Amino acid sequence: MHRIDRDTSGILLVAKKRSALRHLQAQFREKTVQKYYYALVMGKWKPSCRVVKAPLLKNEVNSIVRVNPNGKPSETRFKVIESFEQATLLQASPITGRTHQIRVHTQYTGHPIAWDDRYGDRRFDAYTAKVGLDRLFLHAANIIFTHPASDEKMEIHAEMEPKLQQVLKKLKATV
Protein backbone atom coordinates (compact mmCIF):
# COMPACT_ATOMS: atom_id res chain seq x y z
CA MET A 1 0.00 0.00 0.00
CA HIS A 2 2.81 2.38 0.92
CA ARG A 3 6.57 2.07 1.27
CA ILE A 4 8.85 2.21 4.25
CA ASP A 5 12.59 1.81 4.03
CA ARG A 6 13.88 -1.71 4.65
CA ASP A 7 15.56 -0.81 7.95
CA THR A 8 12.58 1.17 9.29
CA SER A 9 10.50 -0.62 11.90
CA GLY A 10 6.79 -0.24 12.57
CA ILE A 11 3.61 -0.05 10.55
CA LEU A 12 3.28 -1.13 6.96
CA LEU A 13 -0.22 -0.82 5.51
CA VAL A 14 -1.25 -3.61 3.13
CA ALA A 15 -4.46 -3.90 1.10
CA LYS A 16 -5.96 -7.35 0.47
CA LYS A 17 -8.50 -6.28 -2.15
CA ARG A 18 -7.99 -4.20 -5.27
CA SER A 19 -10.97 -1.98 -4.35
CA ALA A 20 -9.42 -1.25 -0.95
CA LEU A 21 -6.06 -0.56 -2.60
CA ARG A 22 -7.61 2.03 -4.94
CA HIS A 23 -9.50 3.70 -2.08
CA LEU A 24 -6.37 3.92 0.07
CA GLN A 25 -4.22 5.11 -2.84
CA ALA A 26 -6.70 7.94 -3.36
CA GLN A 27 -6.33 8.92 0.31
CA PHE A 28 -2.53 9.00 -0.04
CA ARG A 29 -2.82 11.05 -3.24
CA GLU A 30 -5.20 13.51 -1.56
CA LYS A 31 -2.86 13.66 1.48
CA THR A 32 -5.60 12.70 3.94
CA VAL A 33 -3.52 9.85 5.44
CA GLN A 34 -1.49 10.96 8.43
CA LYS A 35 1.75 9.13 9.21
CA TYR A 36 3.93 9.64 12.28
CA TYR A 37 7.45 8.33 12.77
CA TYR A 38 9.93 8.47 15.64
CA ALA A 39 13.52 9.29 14.74
CA LEU A 40 16.57 9.67 16.95
CA VAL A 41 18.70 12.42 15.45
CA MET A 42 22.13 13.84 16.13
CA GLY A 43 22.45 16.96 18.26
CA LYS A 44 19.95 19.40 19.71
CA TRP A 45 17.03 19.96 17.34
CA LYS A 46 15.56 23.44 17.72
CA PRO A 47 11.88 23.14 18.77
CA SER A 48 11.19 26.16 16.54
CA CYS A 49 12.10 24.06 13.47
CA ARG A 50 8.68 22.54 12.87
CA VAL A 51 8.57 22.23 9.08
CA VAL A 52 11.20 21.37 6.48
CA LYS A 53 10.21 22.19 2.90
CA ALA A 54 13.08 21.18 0.65
CA PRO A 55 12.75 19.73 -2.88
CA LEU A 56 14.18 16.22 -3.28
CA LEU A 57 15.87 14.79 -6.34
CA LYS A 58 16.66 11.08 -6.64
CA ASN A 59 19.76 9.91 -8.50
CA GLU A 60 18.41 7.03 -10.60
CA VAL A 61 21.84 5.37 -10.80
CA ASN A 62 22.60 4.94 -7.08
CA SER A 63 19.20 5.83 -5.51
CA ILE A 64 20.80 8.56 -3.37
CA VAL A 65 18.35 11.39 -2.70
CA ARG A 66 19.53 14.97 -2.25
CA VAL A 67 17.95 18.35 -1.63
CA ASN A 68 18.02 20.03 -5.03
CA PRO A 69 16.11 23.02 -6.46
CA ASN A 70 15.23 20.83 -9.49
CA GLY A 71 13.70 18.15 -7.25
CA LYS A 72 10.09 17.41 -6.38
CA PRO A 73 8.43 19.52 -3.69
CA SER A 74 8.73 17.79 -0.31
CA GLU A 75 7.49 18.67 3.16
CA THR A 76 8.06 17.05 6.55
CA ARG A 77 6.70 18.30 9.88
CA PHE A 78 8.73 17.76 13.04
CA LYS A 79 8.05 17.89 16.76
CA VAL A 80 10.61 17.43 19.54
CA ILE A 81 9.58 14.58 21.83
CA GLU A 82 12.65 14.50 24.08
CA SER A 83 16.13 16.02 24.16
CA PHE A 84 19.24 14.24 25.36
CA GLU A 85 22.84 15.34 25.82
CA GLN A 86 23.87 14.74 22.21
CA ALA A 87 20.65 13.59 20.55
CA THR A 88 16.97 14.42 20.07
CA LEU A 89 13.97 12.12 19.72
CA LEU A 90 11.65 13.57 17.08
CA GLN A 91 8.20 12.86 15.80
CA ALA A 92 8.31 13.25 12.02
CA SER A 93 5.27 13.46 9.79
CA PRO A 94 5.87 13.42 6.04
CA ILE A 95 3.26 15.43 4.15
CA THR A 96 4.61 14.30 0.80
CA GLY A 97 5.85 10.75 0.33
CA ARG A 98 9.24 10.96 -1.36
CA THR A 99 11.91 8.28 -1.18
CA HIS A 100 14.06 8.66 1.98
CA GLN A 101 12.26 11.94 2.71
CA ILE A 102 12.57 11.97 6.51
CA ARG A 103 16.16 10.72 6.35
CA VAL A 104 17.23 13.41 3.86
CA HIS A 105 15.32 16.25 5.53
CA THR A 106 16.92 15.50 8.92
CA GLN A 107 20.37 15.32 7.31
CA TYR A 108 19.69 18.58 5.44
CA THR A 109 19.05 20.35 8.75
CA GLY A 110 22.33 19.01 10.17
CA HIS A 111 20.68 16.34 12.32
CA PRO A 112 21.07 12.94 10.62
CA ILE A 113 19.23 9.91 12.00
CA ALA A 114 21.21 7.43 14.10
CA TRP A 115 22.64 4.50 12.13
CA ASP A 116 21.56 5.80 8.73
CA ASP A 117 23.96 4.04 6.38
CA ARG A 118 23.34 6.50 3.50
CA TYR A 119 22.76 9.88 5.11
CA GLY A 120 24.13 9.42 8.63
CA ASP A 121 27.14 10.44 10.67
CA ARG A 122 29.60 7.72 11.76
CA ARG A 123 30.63 9.62 14.91
CA PHE A 124 27.00 9.80 16.04
CA ASP A 125 26.60 6.09 15.30
CA ALA A 126 29.63 5.36 17.51
CA TYR A 127 28.10 7.49 20.28
CA THR A 128 24.75 5.69 20.11
CA ALA A 129 26.48 2.30 19.90
CA LYS A 130 27.67 2.93 23.47
CA VAL A 131 24.02 2.80 24.62
CA GLY A 132 23.26 -0.33 22.60
CA LEU A 133 22.00 0.98 19.26
CA ASP A 134 23.01 -1.01 16.19
CA ARG A 135 20.27 -0.21 13.65
CA LEU A 136 18.52 2.72 11.99
CA PHE A 137 16.45 4.56 14.61
CA LEU A 138 13.42 5.29 12.46
CA HIS A 139 10.09 3.82 13.53
CA ALA A 140 6.71 4.10 11.79
CA ALA A 141 4.63 4.60 14.94
CA ASN A 142 1.15 5.75 13.84
CA ILE A 143 -1.02 5.92 10.76
CA ILE A 144 -4.48 7.45 10.51
CA PHE A 145 -6.75 6.79 7.52
CA THR A 146 -10.37 6.14 6.56
CA HIS A 147 -11.36 2.47 6.30
CA PRO A 148 -12.15 1.72 2.63
CA ALA A 149 -15.35 -0.23 3.35
CA SER A 150 -16.82 1.27 6.53
CA ASP A 151 -15.62 4.89 6.17
CA GLU A 152 -14.57 4.62 9.83
CA LYS A 153 -11.54 6.65 10.90
CA MET A 154 -8.78 4.15 11.69
CA GLU A 155 -5.76 4.86 13.87
CA ILE A 156 -3.09 2.17 14.02
CA HIS A 157 -0.25 2.36 16.54
CA ALA A 158 2.94 0.25 16.71
CA GLU A 159 5.03 0.22 19.88
CA MET A 160 8.76 0.70 19.53
CA GLU A 161 10.67 -2.53 19.91
CA PRO A 162 12.20 -3.04 23.40
CA LYS A 163 15.74 -2.52 22.06
CA LEU A 164 14.90 1.04 20.92
CA GLN A 165 13.12 1.75 24.20
CA GLN A 166 16.24 0.61 26.09
CA VAL A 167 18.41 2.95 24.02
CA LEU A 168 16.17 5.88 25.01
CA LYS A 169 16.32 4.87 28.71
CA LYS A 170 20.12 4.73 28.60
CA LEU A 171 20.31 8.11 26.83
CA LYS A 172 18.04 9.59 29.51
CA ALA A 173 20.32 8.21 32.21
CA THR A 174 23.36 9.98 30.71
CA VAL A 175 21.74 13.44 30.89
Q: How far apart are CA 128 and CA 168, in angstroms?
A: 10
Which contiguous run of DSSP H or E holds residue 168? helix 162-173
Q: How far apart are CA 3 and CA 105, in angstroms?
A: 17
Maximum pairwise Cα distance, the chain: 51
Active-site hit among 5, 125, 134, 151: 5
- DSSP for 3-36, written as a single string: ---TT-EE-----SSHHHHHHHHHHHHTT--EEE
Report CA 69 to chain centroid distance, whole Å: 22
Q: How far apart are CA 48 and CA 126, in angstroms?
A: 28
134 is catalytic: no
Of 159, 90, 92, 84, the residue nearest 127 (C-alpha): 84
User: Where in the sequence numbering do the catalytic residues fall?
Assistant: 5
